[in-house]
Amino acid sequence: MTASAAAAPKTITKIAREGKEESQFRIVMRRFARHRLAVISLVVIIIMFVLALLAPVIAPFPRDQIDIAVSSRPGPPGILSSTGQFHLAGVDHLGRDLFTRVLYGARVSLTIAFLVVIFSELIGVLLGAFAGFFGGFFDAATSRLVEFLLSIPTLPILLITSSILIRMDAQIPVPAFVTNFVAWAIASPPSEANKVIVLIFILILLGWTGAARLMRGMALTLRNQDFVESLRAVGASNSRIILRHIIPNGIAPILVNASLALAGVVIAESALSFLGVGVQEPTPSWGNMLATAQSYMFQHPWLPLVPGIPLCLVAISFNFIGDGLRDALLH
């Protein structure tokens, strides 16, 4: 009995210590790992991201190089180039290597998706948090603006604004380092990066409303909690309460919304590029590659599959990751 009594506190202490060691992050990761499709999708996105990042290194040909020795244009997968290399996915109507352009297109599409989601979610989170916390006129004005933007069909507005700005070669006045960063990110010259920046700006302008509504709702709930009153009692400023406590405590649905928004931005960018008002040639994107393929798809039915398969994989993967995050964070 004495040995059992001595062992019991040690066992209880060990269990308590083990319970303390599991952080909230580990709990979320364990829940996320149970969603097999989300884990597989995360692996697919990581692989696609690495391939896009290493595109200048692993691409078998320069991005815009035309193989004049190829007689069949578009050429089928495996066709031999003038240098003795194989065009793994064939060549397009100009004789450019499709596998190379798919890699660079992944870099362009993923760069646009991540930049748009990061900045649109940031704008939406800040506006929604301040509107929900302060209420009053600022909350009413923000809510009416969100409702107005949500009432407008997104695709026609995107088509109109993109067509006007991109076809007119409009440029957003941004610092040179921003242009240089985007040019590096999409592995294109600054002249091409300027048009991509215009597209990114348009997508951000219309993409922050969902995050703003979510964060406003969280702020309305959290601003009346006891911990907020305690922070006010010790003299914490409103900005500190919002930035250090309201937003971190309401970030879970924002993360889920952001992961789902990535798929939406990839599809939106591809749709605009497919319709000719998104990413412009010679900058490759999966959308403008599909637009080119539609003219030859009946004679060469494999051609739209080259950009179409990675586009579908990425969009589906982001959706599954969003489902996994929703189960891990909100349940």
Fold designation for 104-330: MetI-like fold (1.10.3720)
Give the model confidence (pLDDT) of 148-163 as tens digits: 888 888 778 877 877 7
Q: Could you tell me which residue, 124 or 157, shows the higher pLDDT?
A: 124
User: Do 207 and 265 contact (CB within 8 A), yes or no?
Assistant: yes
Q: How many angstroms from the chain centroid is the CA of residue 70?
A: 37
Residue 9 reports pLDDT greater than 70: no
Give the model confidence (pLDDT) of 228-283 as tens digits: 888 888 888 889 999 998 999 888 899 999 999 999 999 999 998 998 888 888 89
How do the domains of the chain map onto residue ranges? 104-330
Residue 50: CB partners within 8 Å, gap ≥ 6?
Answer: none
pLDDT, the chain, mean: 86
Backbone φ and ψ for 195, nearest 5 degrees, come out as -70, -35
Whether the CA torsion 175, 176, 180, 182 is positive or negative: it is positive
What is Dmax (Cα atoms) for the chain? 91
Residue 100 reports pLDDT greater than 90: yes
DSSP 280: P
pTM of the model: 0.87
CA proximity to 101, closest of 67, 52, 68, 50? 52
The average pLDDT across 81-92 equals 83
Give the model confidence (pLDDT) of 17-46 as tens digits: 454 566 788 888 898 999 899 999 999 999
Residue 307 reports pLDDT greater than 50: yes
CA–CA–CA angle 57, 78, 280 (5° rounding):
55
Q: Is 80 helix (H, G, I), strand (E, B) or coil?
A: strand
pLDDT at 181: 94
List the beta bridge partners of residue 86: 80
Percent of the chain's residues with pLDDT above 70: 92
User: Do 203 and 112 contact (CB within 8 A), yes or no?
Assistant: yes
Whether residue 74 has a cis bond before it, omega within 30° of 0: yes
Which amino acid is located at 36 in the chain? R
Q: Cα(255)–Cα(218) distance, rounded to whole angstroms? A: 13
Tokens of 323: 């489902």
Give the model confidence (pLDDT) of 51-72 as tens digits: 999 999 999 899 888 888 787 7
Region of poorest pLDDT, from 79-93, 177-191, 231-245, 311-325? 79-93
